[in-house]
Structure formats: structure tokens, C-alpha cells
């Protein structure tokens, strides 16, 4: 039961050669992970709960911070001035997003350690999933089209190097 190992494979590192495609593919992967967050919240006492909680905890603590750094440090600085309103809107939601992520992280840590879920598991899961889906949708609606326009081949190669270096 608790010894099972849940996995959702990381994206192939070769995809980093196309950093915008990598970020969009990572969004798709993260939507699958959000589905697991929601399923765990609905059934926190299932047979694979500990393994799923560990998988999700790894994502929240290791993988998601890399993705967010990719966007904040490699993508956003390369966007033109017309991206400023969208970036400002995302920044305005940052504290609420971080709080939702931390509440979920604490709940997942309890489950991963074999403890019963906290009473607010469903609420923290829903808050994070909702906030992150909104964030990804806004990035895809506003930032990524601008990035396709603003980021040329040389800048994309620099972005790819930065993102790869973060993962080493």
C-alpha cells in the first residue's frame, strides 16, 4: 500500500531545445497532475494515497518551482512591453497562488507520511487547482502568443540553455 511508487514521467530533456513548446507541454503535464490532486482530495484514504501524495509533493517542491522560475526568469524578461499588463495581473495573484500551493503542500506532506488528511484537504486542493489552472490559461492566452512573436531563434537558444542549467 504505502510502498507503491506513483510516477508521471518528466518531459524529455531534448524538448528543452524548443523552450516555448517545452513550457506548453509542461502545462499539459501539470494539468494531469492537478487531476491527481483533485482525485486525492476526493478519495484521500484510497490504497495508493501515500504514493500519489509523494508524487504530488515532489512536483510541488521540486518540479513546479523549476517551471515557475523558467517563466519568471527566462520567458517574461524576453517579452515586449505590451506583455506588461498580463505579467502584472499574474504578479498580483502571486501571493494567493503561493498560499494555496503551501496549504496543499502541507496537506500532501501529512498524507505522504501516512497521517490522516487535514480537514481542509478538499478546500486546499480545490483552491490550488483552480488558481493554477487560471494562471496557466492566462499565460497561454496572453504571454505565449507574445512570446512566439517576440522571442527569436537566438533568444530561444539562450532560454533553452538557462532552463537546462536550472535542471542540473
pLDDT of residue 71: 97
pLDDT of residue 3: 47
Which pTM does this prediction carry? 0.90
pLDDT of residue 125: 93
CA distance 149 to 62: 30
pLDDT of residue 82: 95
Which domains, ranges and CATH numbers included, belong to the chain? 14-166 (1.20.120.520)
CA distances (Å), origin 39, targets 50, 121, 125, 147: 13, 11, 9, 33
Asked whether the beta carbons of 49 and 40 are under 8 A apart, the reply is yes
Per-residue pLDDT of the chain (168 residues), as tens digits, is 344 555 677 888 888 999 999 999 999 999 999 999 998 998 877 667 899 999 999 999 999 999 999 999 999 999 999 999 999 999 999 999 999 999 999 999 999 998 988 899 999 999 999 999 999 999 999 999 999 999 999 999 999 999 999 998
Amino acid at each position: 500500500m504505502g510502498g507503491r511508487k506513483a510516477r508521471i514521467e518528466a518531459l524529455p530533456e531534448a524538448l528543452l531545445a524548443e523552450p516555448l513548446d517545452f513550457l506548453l507541454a509542461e502545462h499539459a503535464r501539470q494539468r494531469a497532475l492537478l487531476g491527481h490532486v483533485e482525485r486525492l482530495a476526493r478519495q484521500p484514504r484510497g490504497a495508493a494515497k501515500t504514493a500519489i501524495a509523494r508524487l504530488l509533493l515532489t512536483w510541488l517542491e521540486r518540479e513546479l518551482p523549476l517551471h515557475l522560475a523558467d517563466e519568471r526568469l527566462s520567458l517574461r524578461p524576453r517579452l515586449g512591453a505590451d506583455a506588461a499588463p498580463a505579467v502584472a495581473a499574474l504578479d498580483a495573484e502571486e501571493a494567493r497562488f503561493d498560499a494555496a500551493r503551501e496549504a496543499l503542500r502541507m496537506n500532501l506532506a501529512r498524507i505522504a507520511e501516512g497521517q490522516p488528511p487535514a480537514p481542509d484537504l478538499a478546500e486546499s486542493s480545490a483552491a490550488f487547482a483552480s488558481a493554477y489552472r487560471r494562471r496557466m490559461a492566462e499565460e497561454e492566452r496572453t504571454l505565449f502568443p507574445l512570446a512566439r512573436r517576440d522571442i527569436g531563434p537566438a533568444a530561444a537558444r539562450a532560454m533553452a540553455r538557462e532552463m537546462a542549467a536550472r535542471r542540473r
